[in-house]
Amino acid sequence: MRKQIALFVIALVLAIGLAGCQQPGEPGTVAVRPDNVTINLASGVFTVDLTATVTDEEGNVVKLEAGDLTWEIADAGVAAVAPQKANSAVLEGKQVGETKLTVKYGDMAPAEVPVKVIDEEVMPPSGVKAPKALAPLKLGEPWPVEEKNVYQAFQKVDDKDVGWKVWVFWDDDNVYIQYDVYTDWPLGNQKTERYIYEADSLEWQIRNDDGLRQKWMVAETEAKGYEVVVRYPDRDYYVAPNEYHDVLIQETDFGYRGQVILSMKHPKLAEFNIGLGTKVGMAVQVNDSSDGQTRDRILGGFVDSETYTDLWFMYK
Ligand SMILES: [Ca+2]
């Protein structure tokens, strides 16, 4: 009996001793997910979440406490790393280049994660892009319009190209629309409120995949100045500038240019929840009048025909 107890005690001591051997410094592995990182600054997503797992030589996952891991980035100019919980960190791309993240636990062989920071323009998979404005766009100033992001419609009239080009931008506060109308008819609108579509005016309509739809109609009228009509479910009439809208329409050598600022604080725009990565369908038409009273032609006509083009809200 005494001998059996002695053996049991020895076994117990051995077991405790073995368990005690699994301290930092013993062979094991440090693994990080993802094990390879590419951050594209042009996407507008600058960070990647990293998670580390430490396994001892028995294959058991080691429970980590804050500070157990050391996260090191070789080139702090390219990327920065900020530990979060005991086993996680956030990696942030800073500038184009390549570097390496090293994650250490005791004397174990560290995990090494190659990090690449690139800045390569992303074009939308369909339709057109609305780039983010890095600073608020101001009426009357040149907006950063580029042909590659244009949404346009032209038709030949007496051998002349008549139509429009539209660009959309956004930031956290506003959606910005520039529309350049190529027409040889004079700029004018003698209608007001619900009838502004009968003379020179823009109709900008969007809808999302949930079936939410809204239309903004914009014109400079003789009656009131810059009018904005928010169409659904019942027309709301505004004169810009107001807390939600600002508009500038000016004649140009090709016709006229409109710049429209729509605040996302307006409930009918807010409900689209526009931000990085948002996609909506967009339809545009420009009503063109020769005398300011009669709609002689519709340029584009995509609102009436409900022909939508994908519009992607992207970073740049
Ligand atoms: Ca006109």
In tens, the pLDDT along 169-222 reads 999 999 999 999 999 999 999 999 999 999 999 999 999 999 999 999 999 999
Residue 19: pLDDT band with limits 50, 70, 90: very low
Domain identity same for 96 and 229: no
* For residue 280, pLDDT beyond 50: yes
Task: Please state, for a pLDDT cut of 70, what percent of the chain lies above it.
Answer: 92
How many angstroms separate the CA atoms of 260 and 238, rounded? 13
Residue 18: pLDDT band with limits 50, 70, 90: very low
**Ligand 1 center from residue 236 Cα (angstroms):** 24
Domain containing residue 84: 26-118
**Ligand 1 center from residue 184 Cα (angstroms):** 8
Domain identity same for 50 and 162: no
Domain presence at residue 175: yes
**Ligand 1 center from residue 282 Cα (angstroms):** 24
**Ligand 1 center from residue 208 Cα (angstroms):** 32
pLDDT score recorded for residue 27: 72
Domain identity same for 233 and 97: no
* Mean pLDDT on 245-264: 98
Beta strands 309-314 and 128-131 are parallel
* Mean pLDDT on 21-48: 86
Identify whether the C-beta of residue 257 lies closer than 8 Å to the C-beta of residue 180.
yes
**Ligand 1 center from residue 185 Cα (angstroms):** 5
pLDDT score recorded for residue 25: 45
Domain presence at residue 15: no
How many structural domains comprise the chain? 2
* For residue 3, pLDDT beyond 70: no
Domain identity same for 308 and 183: yes
Enumerate residues 6+ apart whose C-beta is below 8 A from 245: 226, 228, 238, 260, 261, 262, 263, 266
- Token pair for 188: 């004018």
Final residue belonging to a domain, choices 118, 145, 172:
118
SS3 call for 66: coil
| pTM across the whole model | 0.86
Final residue belonging to a domain, choices 118, 147, 171:
118
Domain presence at residue 9: no
Final residue belonging to a domain, choices 96, 118, 140:
118
**Ligand 1 center from residue 153 Cα (angstroms):** 17
* For residue 115, pLDDT beyond 90: yes
Domain identity same for 106 and 217: no
Domain identity same for 134 and 113: no
* Mean pLDDT on 253-267: 98
* For residue 5, pLDDT beyond 60: no
pLDDT score recorded for residue 20: 42
Residue 288: pLDDT band with limits 50, 70, 90: very high
Beta strands 97-105 and 111-118 are antiparallel
Query: Does residue 15 or residue 63 have the better pLDDT?
Result: 63
**Ligand 1 center from residue 224 Cα (angstroms):** 17
Domain identity same for 80 and 200: no
Looking up residue 77, the CATH number of its domain turns out to be: 2.60.40.3450
How many angstroms separate the CA atoms of 55 and 111, rounded? 12
Domain identity same for 174 and 240: yes
* pLDDT tens digits, one per residue of 54-84: 999 999 999 999 999 999 999 999 999 999 9
- Token pair for 56: 């001892």
pLDDT score recorded for residue 15: 44
Domain identity same for 169 and 309: yes
* For residue 17, pLDDT beyond 50: no
User: What integer best gives the mean pLDDT of the chain?
Assistant: 93
Identify whether the C-beta of residue 30 lies closer than 8 Å to the C-beta of residue 54.
yes
Q: Among residues 258, 249, 253, 50, which one has the least CA distance to residue 166?
A: 258
Enumerate residues 6+ apart whose C-beta is below 8 A from 99: 73, 74, 75, 78, 79, 115, 117
Domain identity same for 221 and 98: no
Looking up residue 255, the CATH number of its domain turns out to be: 2.60.40.1190
Distance, C-alpha 5 to centroid of its chain: 70
Domain identity same for 167 and 204: yes
Domain presence at residue 4: no
**Ligand 1 center from residue 186 Cα (angstroms):** 4
pLDDT score recorded for residue 26: 54
Residue 166: pLDDT band with limits 50, 70, 90: very high
* Mean pLDDT on 6-21: 46
* pLDDT tens digits, one per residue of 228-247: 999 999 999 999 999 999 99
Domain presence at residue 10: no
Domain identity same for 178 and 214: yes
* For residue 22, pLDDT beyond 60: no
